[in-house]
Amino acid sequence: LEQFLAVYPGSRKAGAALHLLGRSHEEKKQRHQALAVYAKLVFLHPGDAKHGPALKSLRRILAKEKAYRDRHEALAKMIDEAPAGGSRADRRYAYLEFLSKLDADKLHERVLAEHIRFRRDFSLDPRLPHLDLWAAVSWANKGASRESALAFRKFELLYPDSPSGPYARFTRAELLTQELGEHKEAVLILRALLNELPGNKYAARALYLLAEVEERRFKDHGAAIRDYRRVVTDYRESSLAPDALLEIAEIRSKRMKDYSEAVAVLHEFVDVFPRDIRGAEVLKQAGDLQAGRLKNYEAAAASYARVAEAYPDSKIAVEMLLKAGKLHEEKTGRLDAAESYYRQALDNYPDSKKRGQLEKRLAKIRERRGG
């Protein structure tokens, strides 16, 4: 059947051959392959007598197959919008779009084969760059990182002015460092991307990845901090900017043992990104460093107490007020500050499970003051 369709793709019996091929795959429990074949009939042969049965089988497999549960609605929409008219190239391209959304691990070879056929039959079609990009992504989804990296490189060479160039270059660098262990080559690609196209869509991600490689692979902490800092200053609106600050704090703390600077960066995180949900934990981390490493109990208590001020709805707000009070009670001797934090916790969180502890602490303070 595959040979018949390859030799006689325009035969009036092509629809019947595709339907029979789809049924054959189903009988062999090859549902992904059957899905691809039925879809080819639906997209490429809208007027064929087997169109209706193929469409029915296509919908049934999509509904049953667990792999497509999250994508079922989007895939069903693509089927509904399959072009009934238009040129043969348009119908083929619509089919390729659908095919690219299916399980690449199961259908990788079919995806590549259909790409090759499209390129052969429509060698001047302006959509060819998209097909080459899909091929590169398909290799990556299959886990073939070397082939994917080479396919992305091919795309860069064939289409140097493509708007998708930054994506191809970034993804190739990502594959080289994360999957293939070629970190030096990845760094060269990332730096070239940033120098040649500094404002491109992937610049923030490229900087972040560059800093990761510098820190984790080359142990160049200074360079990593510099590039993480560039993410924060140059791409403040990027979702990676808060993460970059936390990475700087971790390098300062765990790699360089510069605890004072680490604390400063953690507080900067809260100042610059006050709505980030990690803020409460970040302040706790700052307080832990101040108390445990720097022995600055006054500053640590202020960091803990800031949690309740900046994030009053945090689950750890009461715990942090309790810790702040205990530091003053046990370390600084400032009983008035300790009492203030305990009372703040009781007043603002009357239903807290720590109410008993707080009341006992206040009672102790009264005893130390002589009743």
- Helices (H), ranges, the chain: 2-7, 14-27, 31-44, 51-64, 72-80, 88-100, 104-121, 128-142, 145-158, 165-178, 183-196, 203-216, 221-234, 240-250, 259-272, 279-292, 297-310, 317-327, 335-348, 355-368
Residue 321: what pLDDT? 98
Residues 212-226 have pLDDT tens digits of 999 999 999 999 999
Of 283, 325, 279, residue with least CA distance to 301: 325
Q: Calculate the dihedral angle through the C-alpha atoms of 219, 220, 225, 230, rounding to the nearest 10 degrees.
A: -120
Amino acid found at 366 = R
For CA atoms 171, 133, 159, 161, give the dihedral sign.
negative
CA distance 261 to 54: 65
Displacement of CA 61 from its chain's centroid (Å)? 29
Asked if 135 and 151 touch (Cβ cutoff 8 Å), the reply is yes
CA distance 79 to 94: 9
The Cβ of residue 66 has, within 10 Å, a number of other Cβ atoms equal to 6
Residue 84: what pLDDT? 86
Residues 9-41 have pLDDT tens digits of 889 999 999 999 999 999 999 999 999 999 999
User: What does the block give as tokens for 158?
Assistant: 């064939």
User: What does the block give as tokens for 244?
Assistant: 């970059």
Burial of 6 (0-12, 13-18, 19+ CB in 10 A): exposed
Residue 78: what pLDDT? 95
Q: How many CA atoms lie within 13 A of 114 on its CB side?
A: 25
CA distance 63 to 106: 18
Of 163, 186, 96, 108, residue with least CA distance to 155: 163
Tell me the pLDDT of the chain (371 aa) as tens digits.
Answer: 999 999 998 899 999 999 999 999 999 999 999 999 999 999 999 999 999 999 999 999 999 999 898 999 999 999 999 998 889 999 999 999 999 898 878 899 998 999 999 999 999 999 999 999 989 998 998 899 999 999 999 999 999 999 999 999 999 999 999 999 999 999 999 999 999 999 899 999 999 999 999 999 999 999 999 999 999 999 999 999 999 999 999 999 999 999 999 999 999 999 999 999 999 999 999 999 999 999 999 999 999 999 999 999 999 999 999 999 999 999 999 999 999 999 999 999 999 999 999 999 999 999 988 75
User: What does the block give as tokens for 54?
Assistant: 């193929």
CA distance 215 to 224: 5
User: What does the block give as tokens for 289?
Assistant: 């460093």
Asked if 35 and 12 touch (Cβ cutoff 8 Å), the reply is no
Burial of 129 (0-12, 13-18, 19+ CB in 10 A): middle
Residue 371: what pLDDT? 56
pTM of the shown model: 0.86
